[in-house]
Structure 1
Amino acid sequence: MSIGTAHAERGGRCEDRCSSQIYDQAGATWVALFVSDGAGSAECGEQGADIAVRTANETISQLMELAELPLDESLALQIVNDIRLAISQAADQNQLPARAYACTFLGALTSTKGTLVLQIGDGGIVLEGQHGLMLAIEPMNGTYANETVFITQPNAIEKLAVRLYPTGVTALALFSDGLQRLALDMAKGEPHGPFFEPIFRKMQGLTDASRPQIGAALESFLGSSRINDRTDDDKSLAIAVLRV
């Protein structure tokens, strides 16, 4: 996660939030990835993104107590509904409308048993599978620049996109819209291979000794001039790679 240069110049803070957590469910290892981008036009967008990611992890943690995980649309709906409730409660406590906490939300839950991805808003989810890289869900961009869908909107559930991949996913990446133009070929609606392939290969080659260094390396990459010369927005990138 890295603050955008436009935000830094205004003395602002990074309004993205992302997380990568490992969970155990009846002996099976799961990785949960979440990315949320607080709307710059919203009074509490940063707080909304924070609530979204934190609540999603709380929901997954509780579900891990079940004998069997429901890897389907019902799981995605529970995550989103829990987030919307948490944001509504925060808004009520601060006497603000829910839209003051507007944010996008992207999530993925993956293991050798399957992969579930969900998305409301822009940003992207890229998978690597048997047929190479693929864009799981098309970013939800509006008619105008910087227009998208937020999890706080009344019709957010209708806009929710969910995909299930029972097998074959070896790597995945979730990213906020600050990376869209670098990570995707927008004309073709496809992932940009030269962006993802080196990162996935680097992740697959990690050892127990080098693994703790990857977070700082990714943060340095996202804050580099190579990236900032092409985008001035906040940037978040969450990655999971299956070690073979």
Structure 2
Amino acid sequence: MNAAAHPSTATARIAMEDLCQTYWPPVYAFVRRQGIPRTDAEDATQAFFLHLLNSDFVQTADRDRGRFRSFLLKSVSNYLKADYRKQTATKRGGAVEIFSLDFDAGEKQYNAEASESVTPEQLFERRWALTLLQNTVNQLRSEYADRNHLKLFDALEAHVNQNAARLPYAELCDTLGMTEDAIKQAARRLKLRYREILRTEIANTVDSKDDIDDELRQLMNALSG
């Protein structure tokens, strides 16, 4: 993890806070899949991150693997086993909120993905992968918006992941005012930039660039399972 590079500095804590803020949805989904009611799960999620950030989280991370995904899953699993009700100060409203989290969205995602056949660990892995991919798309969209190319992005976004609803390039010519060849070139640039951002996002959660490809494979496996 990049956050482990400077374990004794404020920079490391800020980096870890950013990761927690970004990747809380899989934690919430994991907690809910344990059968914990929604309101208790919200408190437990907030309390878990408070516990994590106040502990020696950097020193306890798995340095051999260095993957924040694996570390976070192991940490929340251990946290729940250690009587989370006691650690959360138990009362609704008594837990300290360190992040502003959209639990309505988290609950909606949970209800859409949870099923009796899915284990908490599988749900965590799937929600992690989906969160990472959505963060990648959001960043890419922001870049195109900054260049006043949002219309182009919206027209070609479905081509990034080969969405079945994507329109053929030829049908986009009139909408975009571009030739088919120009649209194909724009789509190639979009896909290339998407892959660059995705790899950077993954790099922020692993300890070594050598782990990026393997981590990417595991994420894709989580989505296909």
TM-score > 0.5, shorter chain as reference:
no
Q: TM-score, normalised by structure 1?
A: 0.29
Report the structure number with the largest CA radius of gyration: 2
Greater fraction strand: 1
The TM-score normalised by the length of structure 2 is: 0.31
Higher relative contact order (CA 8 A, sep 6+): 2
